[in-house]
């Protein structure tokens, strides 16, 4: 018999061998590293503001930074509109003032993100080189004095952009207090220049893509309306309604142009800067469409976006969708590099968020994967277009009432950062979004009531009840981790994409397609197979015809009874084992009694096609059914309306972020005893005040 001690030693030795062996056999990229949004040597959660020292006398800087530090802010973004101060005349650079501002920030323990100032070129530049200014679709050149007036396709402009980025990086690329870079700001809202230079570049891009005009003419079906092109020079920039193939390629060219514009600056910075300095951009959330964000965010360290409510109040779903879509771009945590300090100045009604709502919003961001939240802006310039936007400090330099609330949230971020260290959002459920499908549907809506965002939101709302997080990702990424994948409007379904989705189903996943799926190929041309195109065989069903609806029609079946509105497709089963889950009631005759939803088990998984825009109650029961058939059970149990629970997962277990979005108190029963981190108590139920927040640690592995 071996002694207890020897047994322990043997056990330890086996364990070490197992670990070593595991390490050796596991590919390096499978070892989860810290999210790139959590900076080495810094708190896992950061809070900051956008500070424009160039707008203020230098004597003022110290008091600003002292106030920021007292409010527990630890990061500031600088310089993204300071080109005329950094390069006051062509080729003459002055970074001394910025250096002094960065040093002073450092003294107050505030790290700096530098923005390249290319969204606001100086007047000397646009006057001397007018070709750097954008030309509108009307043919008119924009005037100086707004922003985003530079032309993304002007080679001259790109030269200047590269040089300012390079000079900034030479000076600050090794600065210990500069943690990273933001390229430009919001990428000119994707606006293009409609001039000969842009048109020539578009034609060259098409030539590189299609090689021959025959190929282009064929894929765009240019025999229609005599659109055939005999030379590349004949191809126009589309303005207004146009050939769908041309429109699709133009929009891809827009993405290409802005990606090249971004890359031009990334290259300039990377050549000079320390690898530890991140490079990001400032994106605008889910609804901002002109650029394919999956493409443009590829070379960035992580995604950052600016999160504004505008009119009204924080909507858990709308804000959640944007967070999840931005997080889904690189499937990694994010930064909220700008957010609303109470109110904005650009909405139809610039109401303020209620007391407590700004703090709730900051924690909502964290729940959805944000590791930094930054308020735009610290203090308004005394003149300029945004004089009366909300701020943290007033024109007199004294704190606004909101600063106290921001300081509270910042303090909490600091105190709880350890709990969020190395945590990420890990989901069982994904929604697929595809910019190209969205463009294709929006260019040919067929009914003006067709609102893709609203359809996505109705699924999101219901899915959020069965899952503490949802990833909103591209249809082309690996979907292995998901038990359920819902694609509400996947219009473009080329062969390869379809094969990828079939593989997902084959290996056990449940794929749910919504209306208008699988109508087109990658050229935005109709497929010669009925919807859902290359997925009809796996589905064992197809779409006979689609109908834009004048009014809602009844629909009923195993998900109960409700309505279809806006859009309805008449489905048909083609395989004996395909099930019809919902049928239309009396309608236009064509749809009466016909299948609205078809589902079939296929390979190891299941594929379901929903051919209509369903009422919320039907979507809710559809989602309950999806949860059951996909083996999903809510991680948190059911919570009252107006409460959202999000989960982040790390090496020590899960952290739940619970927010009360209502301006009234609510009580939530917990599924088991958890540790409430804000008040350090073990709880089995949580009382939340209006806009209240609870952060709950749960050692149970998801
Ligand atoms: C955007 C911009 C900022 C500022 C804010 C105002 O997000 O990036 O420069 O204009 O809006 O809300």
Give dist(CA 244, CA 221) in Å, integer.
10
455, 486 in Cβ contact below 8 A? Answer: no
Looking at residue 233, the DSSP 8-state letter turns out to be G
pLDDT at 19: 35
Query: Catalytic site residue 186?
Result: yes
Neighbours of 33 (CB within 10 A): 9
Give dist(CA 216, CA 679) in Å, integer.
64
Q: Which of 80, 87, 186, 569 is catalytic?
A: 186
Task: State whether the beta carbon of 185 lies less than 6 angstroms from ligand 1.
Answer: yes
Give dist(CA 610, CA 490) in Å, integer.
12
Give dist(CA 637, CA 639) in Å, integer.
7
Closest residue by Cα to atom 7, ligand 1, is 306
Best mutation site among 386, 388, 390, 391 for ligand 1, i.e. most ligand atoms within 8 A of its Cβ? 386
pLDDT at 637: 83
Query: What's the whole-number mean pLDDT along residues 21-46?
Result: 71
pLDDT at 28: 40
pLDDT at 218: 98
427, 482 in Cβ contact below 8 A? Answer: yes
Q: Pick the atom of ligand 1 nearest to 345's CA.
A: 12
Cα-to-centroid distance, 300 and ligand 1 (Å) = 21
Query: What's the whole-number mean pLDDT along residues 128-145?
Result: 96
Query: What's the whole-number mean pLDDT along residues 557-579?
Result: 98
pLDDT at 29: 44
Backbone angles phi, psi at 183, to 5 degrees: -85, 125
Q: Residue 701 — very low, low, confident or very high, per pLDDT cuts 50/70/90? A: low
Task: State whether the beta carbon of 81 lies less than 6 angstroms from ligand 1.
Answer: no
Per-residue pLDDT for 694 more than 80? yes
684, 637 in Cβ contact below 8 A? Answer: no
Task: State whether the beta carbon of 220 lies less than 6 angstroms from ligand 1.
Answer: no
> Smallest Cα–Cα separation from 245: which of 524, 31, 625?
524
Mark residue 109 as left, alpha or beta (left: phi above 0; alpha: psi -120 to 50; beta: remaining): left
**Angle (CA) 200 204 205, round 5°:** 115
Structure token digits, residue 89:
């005349």
Per-residue pLDDT for 327 more than 90? yes
Give dist(CA 677, CA 697) in Å, integer.
7
Query: What's the whole-number mean pLDDT along residues 458-484?
Result: 97
Task: State whether the beta carbon of 98 lies less than 6 angstroms from ligand 1.
Answer: no
> Smallest Cα–Cα separation from 471: which of 330, 673, 360, 285?
330
Q: Partners of 208 in the beta sheet? A: none
Cα-to-centroid distance, 308 and ligand 1 (Å) = 9
Cα-to-centroid distance, 343 and ligand 1 (Å) = 12
Task: Give, rounded to a whole angstrom, the gap between the first and last alpha carbons of the chain.
Answer: 40
Q: Pick the atom of ligand 1 nearest to 306's CA.
A: 7
Per-residue pLDDT for 419 more than 70? yes
Per-residue pLDDT for 370 more than 60? yes
pLDDT at 5: 44
Query: Catalytic site residue 62?
Result: no
User: CA–CA distance from 10 to each of 3, 13, 16, 20, 434 (Å)?
Assistant: 11, 5, 10, 15, 54
Q: Which of 87, 166, 332, 338 is catalytic?
A: 338
Q: State the angle between helix axes of 357-367 and 402-420 in degrees (0 to 180), rounded to the nearest 10.
A: 20
Structure token digits, residue 379:
């203090």
> Smallest Cα–Cα separation from 491: which of 527, 467, 516?
516
Structure token digits, residue 176:
């210990």
Cα-to-centroid distance, 376 and ligand 1 (Å) = 7
Closest residue by Cα to atom 12, ligand 1, is 344
> Smallest Cα–Cα separation from 392: which of 404, 383, 381, 384?
404
Structure token digits, residue 63:
């008091």
Cα-to-centroid distance, 113 and ligand 1 (Å) = 16
Closest residue by Cα to atom 5, ligand 1, is 376
Helical spans, DSSP H, in 473-592: 495-506, 536-539
Q: Partners of 50 in the beta sheet? A: 77
637, 657 in Cβ contact below 8 A? Answer: no
Backbone angles phi, psi at 182, to 5 degrees: -115, 125
Query: What's the whole-number mean pLDDT along residues 371-382?
Result: 97
416, 695 in Cβ contact below 8 A? Answer: yes
Helix (H) or strand (E) holding 321: helix 316-330
Structure token digits, residue 43:
């708190």
Q: Pick the atom of ligand 1 nearest to 344's CA.
A: 12
pLDDT at 123: 97
Segment 489-514, tens digit of pLDDT: 999 999 999 999 999 999 999 999 99
Cα-to-centroid distance, 175 and ligand 1 (Å) = 26
Per-residue pLDDT for 281 more than 90? yes
Closest residue by Cα to atom 1, ligand 1, is 306
pLDDT at 636: 87
Q: Pick the atom of ligand 1 nearest to 308's CA.
A: 12
Give dist(CA 514, CA 433) in Å, integer.
12
Task: State whether the beta carbon of 166 lies less than 6 angstroms from ligand 1.
Answer: no
> Smallest Cα–Cα separation from 434: which of 497, 505, 528?
497
The SS3 assignment for 100 reads helix
Query: What's the whole-number mean pLDDT along residues 379-388?
Result: 95
Q: Pick the atom of ligand 1 nearest to 81's CA.
A: 9
User: CA–CA distance from 622 to each of 512, 584, 617, 625 (Å)?
Assistant: 10, 15, 9, 5
Task: State whether the beta carbon of 405 lies less than 6 angstroms from ligand 1.
Answer: no
Cα-to-centroid distance, 174 and ligand 1 (Å) = 28
Q: Give 21-25 contacts, CB < 8 A, sequence gap 24+.
A: none
Per-residue pLDDT for 34 more than 80? yes
Query: What's the whole-number mean pLDDT along residues 395-415?
Result: 98
Neighbours of 241 (CB within 10 A): 9
């Amino acid at each position: 018999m071996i002694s207890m001690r020897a047994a322990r030693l043997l056990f330890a030795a086996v364990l070490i061998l197992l670990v070593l062996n595991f390490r050796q056999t596991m590919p390096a990229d499978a070892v989860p590293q810290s999210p790139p949004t959590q900076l080495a040597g810094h708190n896992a959660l950061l809070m900051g503001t956008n500070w424009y020292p160039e707008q203020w006398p230098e004597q003022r800087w110290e008091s600003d930074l002292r106030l920021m530090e007292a409010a527990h802010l630890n990061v500031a973004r600088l310089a993204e509109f300071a080109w005329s101060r950094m390069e006051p005349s062509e080729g003459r650079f002055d970074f001394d003032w910025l250096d002094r501002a960065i040093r002073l920030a450092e003294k107050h323990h505030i790290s700096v993100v530098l923005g390249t100032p290319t969204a606001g070129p100086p007047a000397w530049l646009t006057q001397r080189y007018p070709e750097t200014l954008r030309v509108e679709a009307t043919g008119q050149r924009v005037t100086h004095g707004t922003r985003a007036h530079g032309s993304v396709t002007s080679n001259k402009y790109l030269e200047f952009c590269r040089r300012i980025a390079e000079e900034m990086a030479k000076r600050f690329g090794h600065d210990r207090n500069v943690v990273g870079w933001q390229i430009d700001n919001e990428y000119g809202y994707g606006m293009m220049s409609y001039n000969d230079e842009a048109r020539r570049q578009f034609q060259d891009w098409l030539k590189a893509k299609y090689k021959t005009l025959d190929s282009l003419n064929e894929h765009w079906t240019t025999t229609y309306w005599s659109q055939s092109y005999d030379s590349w020079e004949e191809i126009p920039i589309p303005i207004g309604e146009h050939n769908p193939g041309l429109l699709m390629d133009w929009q891809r060219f827009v993405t290409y142009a802005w990606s090249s514009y971004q890359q031009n600056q990334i290259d300039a910075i990377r050549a000079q800067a320390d690898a530890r300095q991140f490079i990001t951009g400032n994106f605008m959330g889910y609804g901002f469409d002109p650029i394919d964000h999956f493409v443009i965010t590829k070379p960035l360290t992580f995604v950052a976006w600016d999160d504004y409510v505008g009119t009204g109040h924080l909507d858990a779903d709308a804000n959640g969708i944007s967070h999840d879509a931005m997080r889904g771009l690189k499937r990694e945590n994010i930064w909220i590099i700008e957010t609303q300090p109470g109110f904005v100045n650009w909405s139809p009604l610039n109401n303020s968020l209620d007391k407590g709502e700004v703090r709730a919003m900051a924690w909502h961001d964290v729940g959805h994967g944000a590791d930094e939240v930054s308020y735009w802006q610290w203090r308004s310039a005394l003149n300029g277009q945004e004089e009366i936007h909300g701020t943290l400090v007033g024109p007199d330099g004294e704190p606004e009432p909101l600063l106290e609330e921001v300081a509270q949230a910042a303090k909490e971020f600091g105190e709880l950062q350890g709990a969020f260290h190395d945590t990420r959002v890990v989901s069982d459920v994904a929604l697929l979004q595809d910019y190209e499908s969205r463009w294709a549907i929006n260019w040919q809506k067929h009914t003006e009531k067709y609102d893709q965002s609203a359809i996505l939101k109705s699924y999101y709302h219901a899915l959020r009840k069965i899952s503490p997080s949802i990833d909103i990702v591209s249809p082309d990424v690996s979907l292995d981790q998901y038990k359920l994948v819902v694609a509400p409007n996947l219009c473009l379904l080329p062969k390869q994409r379809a094969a990828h989705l079939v593989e997902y189903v084959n290996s056990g996943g449940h794929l749910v397609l919504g209306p208008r799926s699988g109508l087109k190929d990658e050229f935005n041309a109709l497929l010669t197979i009925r919807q859902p195109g290359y997925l009809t065989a796996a589905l064992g069903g197809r779409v006979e015809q689609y109908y834009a609806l004048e009014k809602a029609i009844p629909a009923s079946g195993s998900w109960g009874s409700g309505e279809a509105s806006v859009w309805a497709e008449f489905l048909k089963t083609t395989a004996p084992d395909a099930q019809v889950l919902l049928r239309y009631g009396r309608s236009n005759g064509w749809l009466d009694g016909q299948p609205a939803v078809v589902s079939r088990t296929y390979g190891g998984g299941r594929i379901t096609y929903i051919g209509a825009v369903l009422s919320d109650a039907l979507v809710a029961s559809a989602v309950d059914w999806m949860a059951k058939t996909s083996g999903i059970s809510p991680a948190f149990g059911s919570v009252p309306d107006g409460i959202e629970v999000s989960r982040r997962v790390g090496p020590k277990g899960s952290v739940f972020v619970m927010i009360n979005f209502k301006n009234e108190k609510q009580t939530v029963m917990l599924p088991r005893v958890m540790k409430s981190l804000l008040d350090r108590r073990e709880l089995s139920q949580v009382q939340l005040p209006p806009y209240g927040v609870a952060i709950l640690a749960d050692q149970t592995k998801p």
